[in-house]
C-alpha cells in the first residue's frame, strides 16, 4: 500500500501486544486455531522483521486486536516509546456486519446476523474470542481515548476507512505525511474480503480451503498473496449474507452517541450516517460498552520509527 514502510514478509498481523488476552478467550468455534496465528514472544516478534534492510526507519505491525485490547497501548509504549499510532475506523454498522460475514465465511458462525448479534454478551461471558462480540465491536470512543492518553495527540492519527478508498484521497496524502511515507497511486487493495465461493468451482473450493490457505500463508509474501487473492476472487462467483436495512438502522441508532464522541475526539465529522436521514437518535440494544477493532503497528530499534 505504501513505499517507505517495512512489514513482516509473511504475516501481516502479529497480535503480539494483545496475545495474553487472546489466549484467554478460545471457547468459540474455530478459536482453537488462534494460538498458531499469533506471535507470543519477543524473539519471534523481532524475527518477523529481521528480513528488513538495516536502517529501515518505518516498521509496521498491522494487528486489529491492538485497538480492542485495553492493555495493548501501554505494552506498545513500553516496547516502542516513539511509536506512531494509526487507527482506521469504518461505519460501525457496516463494520460489525463485516465482522459477522468474516466468521460466516469461515463456517465459524451459523446463526443469522440478528440472532448472532443478540448473543454478543452471552458469548463474551462464555469466553468466545473478541470477533464474536459483534455488539462490542462497534464502540470506538473509549479505545481512541486510551491511545490518546498513552501516546498523545501528536502521535495518534485516526483515519476513516471510507475516505482512504476514494480515488483521489486527501486522507491518504495526510496519512502519508504523518508516516513519512508515500502511498502508491489509486485506492489501496481490498484485503480479507468476506464471502464463500459458490459450489461447483474448483478454484473456489481451493480458495475456501482453510487448511490450504493457512499453509500457503507460511510461504508466500503478504503483498503477493493479496494480489493473487484479488485475482482469484474475481475469477469465481461468491456469495455472502446481506444486512437487513431495518437492522442497519437500529445499529446506527445504537452507536450514534459513541460516533458523536468519536467526532469530538478527532475534531471532524465521519460522514457515516449521512444519507440515512442524518445521525440517528441514540438507542439501546442491550448495550455493553466496549471498544472496536482497528489497526495498530509497532516495532523497535535504535534507527527505526515504529508505526501503529
User: Could you list the pLDDT tens digit for every one of the 308 residues in the chain?
Assistant: 667 788 888 788 999 999 999 999 999 999 999 999 999 999 999 999 999 998 888 899 999 999 989 999 999 999 999 999 999 999 999 999 999 999 999 999 999 999 999 999 999 999 999 999 999 999 999 999 999 999 999 999 999 998 888 776 788 889 989 998 887 776 666 655 566 666 656 555 555 566 665 666 655 665 565 666 666 656 666 788 999 999 999 999 999 999 999 999 999 999 998 654 444 444 444 333 333 323 333 334 433 445 55
**Ranges of each domain in the chain:** 2-195+240-307
Q: Is 279 helix (H, G, I), strand (E, B) or coil?
A: coil
- The predicted pLDDT at position 11 comes to 80
- The predicted pLDDT at position 155 comes to 97
Contacts 24+ apart (CB under 8 A), 129-133: 129/22, 129/25, 129/26, 129/27, 129/28, 129/31, 129/34, 130/22, 130/25, 130/65, 130/68, 130/293, 131/28, 131/99, 131/102, 131/103, 132/28, 132/103, 133/290
Radius of gyration of the chain (CA): 19
- Give the pairing type, strands 58-60 and 6-7: parallel
C-beta of residue 280 within 8 angstroms of C-beta of residue 91: no
Rounded Cα gap, residues 233 and 195, in angstroms: 10
Contacts 24+ apart (CB under 8 A), 234-237: 235/203, 236/197, 236/198, 236/201, 236/203, 236/204, 236/207, 237/197, 237/198, 237/201, 237/204
C-beta of residue 28 within 8 angstroms of C-beta of residue 149: no
- The predicted pLDDT at position 220 comes to 60
- The predicted pLDDT at position 209 comes to 60
- The predicted pLDDT at position 192 comes to 56
C-beta of residue 123 within 8 angstroms of C-beta of residue 28: yes
- Could you tell me the sign of the dihedral formed by the alpha carbons of 219, 222, 223, 226, in that order? positive
Rounded Cα gap, residues 173 and 170, in angstroms: 5
- The predicted pLDDT at position 99 comes to 96
Rounded Cα gap, residues 260 and 239, in angstroms: 34
∠ CA 195-199-201, nearest 5°, is 95
**In angstroms, how far is CA 265 from the centroid of its own chain?**
20
- The predicted pLDDT at position 143 comes to 98
Residue 214 CB partners (closer than 8 Å, separation 6+): 33, 36, 37
Joined together, the cell numbers standing for residue 280 give 440517528
CA atoms within 13 A on the CB side of 188: 20
pTM comes to 0.80
Rounded Cα gap, residues 24 and 75, in angstroms: 17
Superfamily of domain 2-195+240-307: P-loop containing nucleotide triphosphate hydrolases (3.40.50.300)
Amino acid at each position: 500500500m505504501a513505499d517507505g514502510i517495512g512489514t513482516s514478509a509473511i504475516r501481516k498481523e502479529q497480535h503480539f501486544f494483545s496475545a495474553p488476552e487472546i489466549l484467554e478467550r478460545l471457547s468459540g468455534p474455530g478459536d482453537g486455531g488462534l494460538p498458531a496465528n499469533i506471535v507470543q514472544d519477543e524473539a519471534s516478534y523481532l524475527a518477523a522483521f529481521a528480513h528488513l534492510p538495516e536502517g529501515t526507519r518505518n516498521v509496521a505491525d498491522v494487528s486489529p486486536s491492538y485497538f480492542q485490547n485495553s492493555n495493548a497501548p501501554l505494552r506498545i509504549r513500553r516496547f516502542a516509546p516513539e511509536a506512531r499510532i494509526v487507527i482506521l475506523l469504518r461505519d460501525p454498522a457496516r463494520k460489525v456486519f463485516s465482522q459477522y460475514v468474516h466468521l460466516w465465511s469461515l463456517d465459524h458462525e451459523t446463526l443469522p446476523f440478528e440472532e448472532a448479534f443478540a448473543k454478543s454478551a452471552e458469548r463474551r461471558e462464555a469466553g468466545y474470542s473478541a470477533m464474536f462480540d459483534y455488539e462490542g465491536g462497534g464502540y470506538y470512543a473509549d479505545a481512541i481515548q486510551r491511545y490518546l492518553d498513552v501516546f498523545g495527540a501528536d502521535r495518534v492519527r485516526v483515519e476513516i476507512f471510507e475516505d482512504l478508498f476514494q480515488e483521489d484521497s486527501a486522507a491518504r496524502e495526510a496519512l502519508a505525511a504523518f508516516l513519512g511515507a508515500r502511498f502508491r497511486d489509486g485506492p489501496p487493495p481490498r484485503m480479507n474480503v468476506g464471502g464463500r465461493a459458490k459450489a461447483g468451482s474448483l478454484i473456489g473450493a481451493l480458495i475456501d480451503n482453510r487448511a490450504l490457505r493457512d499453509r500457503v500463508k507460511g510461504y508466500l509474501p503478504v503483498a503477493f498473496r493479496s494480489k493473487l487473492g484479488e485475482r482469484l476472487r474475481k475469477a469465481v462467483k461468491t456469495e455472502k449474507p446481506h444486512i437487513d436495512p431495518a437492522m442497519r438502522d437500529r445499529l446506527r441508532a445504537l452507536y450514534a452517541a459513541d460516533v458523536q464522541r468519536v467526532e469530538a475526539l478527532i475534531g471532524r465529522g465521519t460522514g457515516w450516517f449521512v444519507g440515512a436521514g442524518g445521525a440517528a437518535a441514540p438507542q439501546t440494544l442491550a448495550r455493553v460498552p466496549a471498544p472496536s477493532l482497528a489497526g495498530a503497528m509497532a516495532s523497535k530499534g535504535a534507527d527505526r520509527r515504529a508505526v501503529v
